[in-house]
Homo-oligomer: A and B are copies of this chain.
Amino acid sequence: MERITIAIDAMGGDNGPMAICNGVRIAKSRHGKVDFRIYGNLETLRGAIPDFDESEFVHTDKFVRPSDKPSAVLRHGQDTSMYLAIQSVQQKQSHACVSAGNTGALMAVSRLLLKRMSVIRKPAICSCIPNGNGFCVLLDMGANIDCDPSNYLDFAVMGDAFLRAIIKKENGRIGILNIGTEAGKGGEKLNTAYNMIRASKLGAKFIGYVEPQDIFNGAVDVVVTDGFSGNIFIKSAESVSMFLKTVATKLFSDSILAKLGYLLASNAVNDVKRKFDHRKYNGAMFVGLDGISVKSHGNTDDVGFAHAIDVAISLVRNNINDIITENIKDNTFLRQSE
């Protein structure tokens, strides 16, 4: 196994550089042959980190704020830790970068520096959703509000590659998110996308239209959708989970009997918490760029950030972009006939 290097934006995320650097430490303990280039303010980091190893760090005192406009970061943000981390991927000093910072800025700078893969029309945000049987890969989660039918085919190719790289599943079932499962539902655009994927080399893996419940039932492995619907889907799912968690917490603290009941059940509750620990599903990729750029949740802690690093390492080790190129090549006939 070759050594690889992961670039880290230490200054992004709601929990500060300590969470990021501790995440790196956790990831290091899990992976051999991985080096890190950590971009951030050395003064801040040196003070905060006990066993600070200066050789891994690249100093910059500029960083991207959550409120910064992507366009402003593109124009004036060349010295920020985020920009430099992405640039190190562009310049082949690193194999991938990971940031918990401003999503819009990370996407804009990644697109500018890493460039779109020539075979892909629209890069997309791709991530894993946990369900009863494991995971489902979903894209686009918010990069493209409007999509053409051909974008859905690209998303299917990239989602399938993501599944093979991260989850090692070769025979994933691919579906298009829709408001019903019957063929013909959802309007002309989706129906054209349906026919394109059906006619492509991925046709054998294509199971047609799926609904949100299929994602949680484990009935599908890769779900493609436009960035608006994908974003509404994931935020609905997250906010219902949060809402029910709040209700359950209040429930178990409202009466002494319920508190006692919770204590008795706590082993079982903790098992479930472990299984569905959202930190394990941290790490979304901008697929379709000539380089690997991974976005961690902004409010992640060190454990979650380490998982985002795991994702980046898996994507590098499994050559996701080679799989995408290979998949697309197989579909050339279809692209020429468009």
Contact = CB atoms under 8 A, between A and B. Distances in A.
Interface of A: 131-132, 142, 145-146, 177, 179, 186-187, 211-213, 215-217, 227-229, 231-233, 235-244, 246-248, 251-252, 254-255, 257-258, 260-269, 271-272, 276
Contact of A132 (B246, B257, B271): B246
Contact of A187 (B146, B211, B255, B267): B146
A53 to B, nearest CB: 38
A100 to B, nearest CB: 18
17 contacts: A131-B243, A132-B243, A132-B247, A145-B186, A179-B227, A212-B232, A213-B235, A213-B239, A216-B240, A240-B244, A251-B265, A255-B268, A257-B264, A261-B261, A261-B262, A261-B263, A261-B265
A268 B257 contact: yes
A3 to B, nearest CB: 39
B268 A264 contact: no
B244 A244 contact: yes
A246 B217 CA distance: 11
- Identical chains bound together, number: 2
Contact of A247 (B239, B254, B263, B276): B276
A232 B243 contact: no
Contacts of A231: 179
Contacts of A239: 211-213, 215-217, 237
A205 B244 CA distance: 28
The SS class assigned to the A binding surface is helix
Contacts of A142: 179
Contacts of A233: 232-233, 236
Contacts of A177: 232
B261 A235 contact: no
Contacts of A227: 179
Contacts of A236: 212, 232-233, 236-237, 240
B272 A267 contact: no
Contacts of A268: 251-252, 254-255, 257-258, 261
Contacts of A272: 247-248, 251
B228 A186 contact: yes
Nearest to A252: B265
Nearest to A241: B240
A266 B241 CA distance: 21
A146 to B, nearest CB: 7
Most buried by B among A239, A271, A276: A239
A257 B265 contact: yes
Given A212-B239, A229-B232, A260-B261, 19 more contacts: A145-B179, A145-B186, A179-B227, A179-B231, A179-B235, A212-B235, A213-B238, A216-B239, A217-B239, A237-B237, A240-B241, A244-B244, A248-B272, A251-B272, A257-B265, A257-B268, A261-B262, A261-B263, A265-B265
